[in-house]
């Protein structure tokens, strides 16, 4: 029999047990095993088939690694139809996560039972596809169109109790999946229960699919899978027969399976899991973490403290004065109130976190027992060095001293302590209790177990943790500085900030670069430009219009005015009418005649600048692998997930075309558009960034 599907008989019941760890993915062997299990059960004269999974879950879906390869028989839809058509009564017993193709096998069974902790869902849209084995046809028949649309277009799983209420499962019972499954199947046999194929149920009631399609497309910012999945559900309601609905589902499924968006989303799925798996950390034990110190209680420090508290750590937050400490406490409590409101913590937990786990202090000696201290003070090297010198004096041996700097040289910071091996960068993104990205910045002398502890902390806080080397801006902010410079150059040459923001949100970015700058605070970029001015290459094109806004006291959202004007109580802003004048003056100063840009050219130049800098970041070893860059941009910079990240996007576009464009832009400005050596090398060797990922994972 099959290695991954065990066959056994318990009286009249043929039991098919999935044994394909870790998640019982329905790869080819599993599909073949199930098929031959049915054939044997039917040939042997069993009366019923029970399907369940060994280990942590029922089938968690198709084997995603098989996507894009030719489907080998039995195909998923054929398998599900075969299960449903079996003359024997088929029961599935669910536990863990019955997802995607897993739930589709369950829906093809005639009865379903689950343990209370089981979750069920059709998350295919997150992989750029739709349920392609009858899920869009069967789920609306059992649960109705509204529940089916919600599950299929959001991909959100539901719990067993909800599934029971919706009719997706027939019973919830405590116990082992095998035991409850056997008892239920026997009970059904004893009661003479009939086979109950979902395909025999009437087509569900139709709804206004067209308007919902438009809404979904808008909401998903260009991601096609949710709206396409809706069309498949529409077929369940409107097709002439169940089989015609299945055929329509298949057509739509294949469209998505062959799309670039599917490539991007599957890349994101595997990369977000691979990003924290670094070969050098294998077997390295992290240092113990229980007590955390945070220095600075502004938005960033308070966010870091909140994230640490929510993950069960004790936090001591250090401020300069009692008044500042009170304000910091207020910020943290405000953040925790938000968590309470969203049901992430209970009222009792809120009380414990704010009264027992959090303490405020104004004296460095309060940090003497901390296992890790994260400094989140003003972004100035002299200030950071004063902080680290004091930490070095009070912290216990083995304590990790971390800086939340976003640009500064961590080697330089480490050098002012007597223990540079304990110093690391932990670059959080604001608001730190919400944003998923954490860059772990490894300095020259950082000890390997300190790096492992940075990754362990990221895991505790639920972050996507990326290793970065030391350079100005590390991975994310360094690349941001380049693509933002590219946007500034396009403005000098004739584009407007509003056209650029609109083109890039159409591309799928959460926000355009000028709206982002307003959100982050224009003073941040201003300070950075001033810091870099003394060492800047005279060939660099630096616009003056962003400085003019700051000189006039406009720092973006926090002052109500920047590239946009923000009115209290209103979401988003409207174009600031002063900005075009500032830009015109800057062009006149430089003797530039503006020209028109198409949206396509804006996107191409912006993306080429991003890819070129990203290739330099990988080539210099600041990021270990292309996927580290991709995950940084996805989780910290609003890059559209369905495009996979800038280097996945580049692979999909073709690296030779990108290099050719960079070279043609270099004819106008050969300083800014110096092609990355790694990009040139990959093109010369006919290799891709994905090849590099594979070689380094």
By CB under 6 A, residue 488 contacts ligand CAA: no
257 φ/ψ angles, rounded to the nearest 5 degrees:
-60, -30
By CB under 6 A, residue 76 contacts ligand CAA: yes
For ligand CAA, the closer CB: 452 or 615: 452
For ligand CAA, the closer CB: 20 or 186: 20
| The only residue of 53, 61, 226, 543 in contact with ligand CAA, by rule CB under 6 A | 61
Integer angstrom CA distances of residue 39 from 30, 35, 83, 344: 14, 6, 10, 48
| The only residue of 33, 37, 100, 473 in contact with ligand CAA, by rule CB under 6 A | 100
Helical ranges in 287-426 per DSSP H: 299-310, 322-341, 347-352, 381-394, 410-414
By CB under 6 A, residue 694 contacts ligand CAA: no
Integer angstrom CA distances of residue 437 from 371, 375, 475: 22, 17, 12
For ligand CAA, the closer CB: 134 or 525: 134
> Do 16 and 24 touch, CB atoms closer than 8 A?
no
571 Cβ contact partners less than 8 Å away, ≥ 6 residues apart: none
| The only residue of 84, 124, 375, 613 in contact with ligand CAA, by rule CB under 6 A | 124
57 φ/ψ angles, rounded to the nearest 5 degrees:
-160, 155
Nearest Cα neighbor of 55 from 4, 113, 15 is 4
Q: CB 599 → ligand CAA: shortest distance, Å?
A: 33
CA distance 608 to 626: 15
By CB under 6 A, residue 22 contacts ligand CAA: yes
First to last CA, the chain: 34
The DSSP 8-state label assigned to residue 576 in this structure reads -
Both structure tokens of 165: 């209420």
By CB under 6 A, residue 133 contacts ligand CAA: yes
For residue 439, the number of C-alpha atoms closer than 13 Å in the C-beta half-sphere is 36
CA distance 274 to 99: 21
Q: Among this protein's residues, is 104 annotated catalytic?
A: yes
By CB under 6 A, residue 99 contacts ligand CAA: yes
| The only residue of 5, 60, 168, 399 in contact with ligand CAA, by rule CB under 6 A | 60
Residues 237-296 that bind ligand CAA (CB under 6 A): 273
Q: CB 5 → ligand CAA: shortest distance, Å?
A: 16
Nearest Cα neighbor of 474 from 422, 414, 429, 515 is 429
CA distance 464 to 454: 12
Helical ranges in 494-562 per DSSP H: 497-507, 513-520, 522-532, 545-551
- Residue of 124, 249, 379, 613 marked active site: 124
Q: Among this protein's residues, is 280 annotated catalytic?
A: no
To the nearest 10°, report the CA torsion of 195, 75, 223, 24.
70
Q: CB 62 → ligand CAA: shortest distance, Å?
A: 3
Q: CB 61 → ligand CAA: shortest distance, Å?
A: 2
By CB under 6 A, residue 134 contacts ligand CAA: no
Q: CB 627 → ligand CAA: shortest distance, Å?
A: 12
For ligand CAA, the closer CB: 465 or 586: 465
By CB under 6 A, residue 9 contacts ligand CAA: no
> Do 662 and 590 touch, CB atoms closer than 8 A?
no
For ligand CAA, the closer CB: 131 or 286: 131
Query: Three-state SS for 563?
Result: coil
By CB under 6 A, residue 2 contacts ligand CAA: no
Q: CB 105 → ligand CAA: shortest distance, Å?
A: 9
Q: CB 233 → ligand CAA: shortest distance, Å?
A: 15
By CB under 6 A, residue 70 contacts ligand CAA: no
**Strand (E) or helix (H) holding 150:** helix 145-154
> Do 47 and 41 touch, CB atoms closer than 8 A?
no
Q: CB 25 → ligand CAA: shortest distance, Å?
A: 4
By CB under 6 A, residue 151 contacts ligand CAA: no
- Residue of 104, 249, 379, 613 marked active site: 104
For ligand CAA, the closer CB: 154 or 186: 154
| The only residue of 5, 18, 62, 166 in contact with ligand CAA, by rule CB under 6 A | 62
Q: Which residues are catalytic?
A: 104, 124
Binding site for ligand CAA (CB under 6 A): 22-23, 25, 60-65, 76, 97, 99-101, 123-124, 127, 131-133, 273
């Amino acid at each position: 029999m099959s290695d991954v599907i065990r066959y056994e008989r318990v009286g009249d019941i043929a039991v098919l047990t999935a044994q394909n760890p870790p998640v019982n993915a329905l790869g080819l062997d599993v599909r073949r095993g199930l098929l031959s299990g049915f054939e044997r059960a039917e040939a042997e004269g069993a009366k019923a088939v029970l399907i369940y999974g060994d280990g942590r879950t029922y089938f968690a879906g198709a084997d995603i690694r098989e996507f894009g390869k030719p489907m080998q028989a039995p195909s998923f839809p054929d398998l599900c139809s075969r299960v449903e058509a079996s003359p024997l009564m088929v029961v599935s017993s669910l536990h863990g996560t019955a997802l995607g193709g897993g739930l589709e096998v369950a829906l093809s069974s005639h009865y379903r039972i689950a343990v209370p902790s089981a979750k069920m869902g059709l998350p295919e849209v997150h992989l750029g596809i739709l349920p392609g084995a009858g899920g869009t046809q069967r789920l609306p028949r059992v649960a109705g169109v509204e529940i089916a649309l919600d599950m299929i277009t959001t991909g959100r799983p539901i719990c067993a109790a909800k599934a029971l209420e919706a009719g997706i499962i027939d019973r919830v019972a405590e116990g082992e999946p095998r035991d409850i499954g056997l008892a239920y199947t026997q009970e059904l046999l004893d009661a003479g229960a009939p086979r109950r194929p979902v395909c025999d149920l009437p087509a569900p009631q139709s709804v206004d699919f067209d308007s919902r399609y438009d809404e979904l497309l808008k909401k998903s910012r260009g991601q096609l899978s949710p709206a396409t999945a809706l069309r498949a559900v529409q077929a369940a309601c409107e097709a002439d027969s169940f089989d015609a609905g299945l055929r329509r589902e298949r057509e739509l499924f294949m469209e998505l399976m062959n799309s670039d968006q599917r490539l991007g989303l599957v890349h994101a799925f595997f990369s977000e899991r691979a990003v924290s798996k670094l070969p050098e950390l294998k077997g390295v034990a992290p240092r113990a973490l229980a007590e955390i110190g945070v220095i600075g209680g502004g938005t960033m420090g308070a966010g870091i403290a909140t994230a640490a508290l929510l993950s069960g750590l004790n936090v001591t937050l250090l401020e300069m004065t009692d008044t500042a400490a009170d304000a910091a406490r207020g910020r943290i409590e405000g953040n925790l109130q938000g968590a309470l409101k969203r049901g992430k913590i209970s009222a009792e937990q809120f009380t414990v976190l704010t009264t027992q786990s959090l303490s405020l202090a104004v004296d460095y000696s309060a940090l003497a027992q901390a296992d890790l201290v994260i400094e989140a003070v003003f972004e100035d090297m002299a200030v950071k060095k004063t902080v680290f010198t004091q930490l070095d004096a009070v912290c216990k041996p083995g304590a990790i001293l971390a800086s939340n700097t976003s640009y500064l040289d961590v080697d330089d910071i480490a050098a002012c302590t007597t223990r540079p091996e304990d110093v690391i960068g932990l670059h959080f993104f604001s608001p730190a209790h919400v944003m998923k990205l954490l860059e772990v910045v490894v300095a020259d002398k950082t000890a390997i177990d300190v790096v492992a502890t940075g990754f362990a902390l990221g895991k505790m806080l639920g972050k996507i943790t990326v290793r970065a080397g030391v350079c100005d801006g590390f991975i994310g902010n360094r690349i941001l500085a380049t693509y933002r410079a590219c946007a500034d150059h396009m403005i000098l040459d004739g584009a407007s900030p509003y056209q650029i923001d609109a083109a890039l949100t159409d591309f799928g970015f959460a926000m355009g670069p000028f709206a982002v700058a307003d959100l982050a605070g224009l003073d941040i970029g201003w300070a950075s430009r001033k810091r870099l001015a003394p060492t800047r290459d005279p060939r660099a094109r630096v616009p003056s219009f962003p400085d003019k806004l700051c000189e006039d006291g406009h720092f973006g959202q926090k002052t109500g005015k920047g590239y946009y004007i923000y009115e209290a109580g209103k979401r988003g802003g409207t174009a600031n009418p002063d900005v075009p004048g500032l830009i015109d003056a800057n062009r006149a100063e430089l003797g530039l005649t503006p020209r028109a840009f198409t949206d396509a050219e804006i996107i191409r130049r912006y993306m080429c600048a991003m890819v070129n800098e990203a290739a330099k970041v990988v080539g210099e070893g600041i990021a270990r692998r292309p996927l580290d860059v991709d995950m940084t941009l996805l989780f910290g910079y609003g890059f559209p997930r369905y495009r996979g990240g800038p280097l996945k996007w580049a692979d999909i576009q073709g690296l030779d075309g990108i290099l050719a464009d960079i070279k043609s832009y270099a004819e106008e400005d050969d300083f800014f558009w110096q092609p990355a050596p790694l990009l040139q090398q990959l093109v010369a060797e006919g290799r891709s960034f994905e090849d590099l990922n594979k070689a380094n994972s």
